[in-house]
Amino acid sequence: MEKPQHIDLNGDPFELSSFTMKEIYDAIPPHCFKPSTIRSVAYVIRDYFYLSVLVYLAVTYIPIIPYTPLRFLAWSAYTVLQGFVFTGIWILAHECGHGAFSKSKNLNWTLGLIMHSFLLVPFHSWRLSHAQHHKATGNIERDTAFVPKLRDEWIKEKLGTKASENLIELAELAEDSPISALWHDIVHQLFGWPGYLLFNLTGQKYGGAKGLRISHFYFGKDSVFYKENELGLIILSDIGVAIMIAALVIAGQLFGSWNVIILWFVPWLWVNNWIVAITFLQHTDATMPHYSNSTWNFARGATATIDRDLGFIDTHLFHDIIGTHVCHHLVSTIPFYHAGEASVHIRRVMGKHYKSDTKTPFWTAFWRNQRSCKFVEESKGCEGSGVYMFRNLQNTPNGQAISKKPIDRGSEKSEKKEELKSVISSSINIETRRRLSQSAQLRANLPILAEA
């Protein structure tokens, strides 16, 4: 009798990984673990230089454009580009939160607090809850971000406890309509990130806790996130955000509210969009597993994520956070400028368990996964295994119903060899593009990008 298999949303078999974290650490060259303070600070200087140049060009030249439609296009272009830069600054603060920015904790915490406060993020509050996410990635009982619901939970939330099959089917059709999906995505992208910080949207339920207790800004002893000895850091983070809000109010009075809105607020909305989209796609895919606490271990959870490709925007402006996220979850203290090299070695250990989708355009993957990855459940015949795969009510990833694909044991070895060749080839191509990108930067006389 054939043994039941875990089947992903594409209908492909999924196998549990067995490699160890020791194998991962042993495969990574020692220098990849070492941050360079000079190089890290140089990236901060570079990004704030970009920010300043964009502001200068916008306020100097856009107002003198004679035609209103062209001015509108110019301001739109400014907000998009500045949104890229703001997001890069957010990511550098993220490096500080992981201790990957510098060996100095004081420098990490100081610059992280400044950069995240600039974007209204409570640095230490986020840093502490984000650490919990890394410690329990892919664990549906303990993970803290983009925690998928089980099928019954999803139906109950959407339709109530007495939903009939007809009502469920109708709701699925309505939710899959382009207008409904687009509206959901717009709200999700613009306000999902503040919603997570304020109301713990997409996070754990924490026993049904509500109100201030689930806010990242709350510093009471009954907070679901923080220990009593951490509350001082939460207050400090709140002060940082409050100072930035005060600075924005003063800037509005001095320079006009419109200028603050167009120069800072709209790019900030773009940051919200990018942070939600990036994080969602890092942890949501038709091939992505989630685990119960009994089946989960750190290595399995850390690889319940996927690398994607956003070209120059990622490798230059987003500091490679999209293309090296698997590496980041395995060893979050590796500086982003070493993550590409470390990823090449990690993939050789992971083999077929390494997940990457560099062919599907970023926003195509986003639209597809938003509509298809609704909830998780165990595969048929694998009930009680503690392995959950994404599903929807129709179980269709791209219009194709899930079908069980048996594993051909006889060709397994040759498949592994081909997969390893593919992984290495892909790694070389991505790494070549990454180096070319940095070479182009150096040719543009940006010495701050050189090795320190």
Average pLDDT, rounded, for the chain = 86
Q: Mean pLDDT across the stretch 372-379?
A: 92
Q: How confident is the model at residue 47 (pLDDT cuts 50, 70, 90)?
A: very high
Angle 430-435-436 (CA atoms, 0-180°, nearest 5)? 95
Answer whether residue 277 shows pLDDT above 70.
yes
Where residue 319 falls (left for φ over 0; alpha for ψ -120 to 50; beta otherwise) is left
396 versus 233: the higher-pLDDT residue is 233
Say whether pLDDT at 175 is over 60: no
Other C-beta atoms closer than 10 Å to the C-beta of 43 total 21
The gap between the terminal CA atoms of the chain, to the nearest Å, is: 60
DSSP-derived letter for residue 3 is P
The 10s digit of each residue's pLDDT in 230-269 is 999 999 999 999 999 999 999 999 999 999 999 999 999 9
**Residue 19 — very low, low, confident or very high, per pLDDT cuts 50/70/90?**
very high
> 402 and 389 in contact (C-beta within 8 Å)?
no
What b/e readout covers 103-136, taking b as 16+ CB neighbours within 10 angstroms? Answer: eeeeebbebbbbbbbbbbbbbbbbbbbbebbbeb
120 phi, psi to nearest 5 deg: 60, 35
Confidence band of 2 (pLDDT split at 50, 70, 90): low
Quick check: 450 pLDDT over 80? Answer: no
Mean pLDDT of 129-144: 94
pLDDT of residue 206: 82
Note the pLDDT of residue 56.
98
Indicate if the pLDDT at residue 144 is higher than 60: yes
Residue 399 has pLDDT above 90, yes or no: no
Averaged pLDDT, 154-177: 62
* pLDDT band of 434, cuts 50, 70, 90: low
β-bridge pairing 356-357 and 307-308: parallel
* Phi, psi (degrees; rounded to nearest 5) at 447: -65, -20
Lowest mean pLDDT among 300-304, 394-398, 427-431: 427-431
Q: pLDDT grade, residue 117 (50/70/90)?
A: very high
Kindly give, in sequence order, each residue whose CB lies less than 8 Å from that of residue 179, ignoring residues fewer than 6 positions away: none
Query: Confidence class of residue 442 from pLDDT cuts 50, 70 and 90?
Result: very low
Has residue 427 got a pLDDT over 70? no
Distance separating alpha carbons of residues 186 and 192, to the nearest angstrom: 9
Laid out side by side, the sheet with 289-291 consists of: 289-291, 387-391, 375-377
Q: Which residue do the tokens 């990036």 mark?
A: 278
> Quick one: 142 exposed, middle or buried, by C-beta within 10 A (0-12, 13-18, 19+)?
middle
pLDDT exceeding 90 applies to what percent of the chain? Answer: 65
Q: What is the pLDDT of residue 446?
A: 44
pLDDT at 50 over 50: yes
Residue type for position 334: I
pLDDT score at 211: 85
- SS3 helix, strand, coil % of the chain, rounded to 5? 65, 5, 30
- Mean of the pLDDT values across residues 189-200? 87
pLDDT at residue 428 greater than cutoff 80 = no
Mean pLDDT of 25-30: 97
Among positive and negative, which fits the CA dihedral 187, 193, 196, 199?
Answer: negative
Distance CA 451, CA 42 (A): 10
Rounded alpha-carbon distances, angstroms, from residue 127 to 94, 96, 137, 260, 295: 8, 9, 15, 28, 26
Q: What is the pLDDT of residues 97-115, one digit of tens each?
A: 999 999 999 999 999 999 9
Higher pLDDT, 428 or 6: 6
Per residue in 310-369, pLDDT tens?
999 999 999 999 999 999 999 999 999 999 999 999 999 999 999 999 999 999 999 999
DSSP secondary structure of 132-199: HHHHTTTBTTT--SS-PPBHHHHHHHHH-TT--HHHHHHHHHHHTSHHHHHHHHHHHHHHHHHHHHHH
Query: Is residue 100 within 8 Å of 87, Cβ to Cβ?
Result: no
Burial of 326 (0-12, 13-18, 19+ CB in 10 A): buried
The answer to whether residues 318 and 87 touch, using CB atoms and an 8 Å cutoff, is yes
Q: Is residue 266 classed exposed, middle or buried when 0-12, 13-18 and 19+ CB atoms within 10 A define those classes?
A: middle
410 vs 230, more confident = 230
What pLDDT shows up at residue 184? 72
Pairwise CA distance, residues 90 & 94, whole Å: 6
DSSP string, 399-412: S---------GGGH
Per-residue pLDDT, averaged over 41-60, amounts to 98
pLDDT of residue 210: 83
| Closest of 302, 434, 280 to residue 363, by C-alpha | 280
Q: Are 375 and 135 within 8 A, CB to CB? A: no
Share of the chain above pLDDT 70, in %: 82
Cβ neighbourhood burial of 236 (10 Å; 0-12, 13-18, 19+): middle
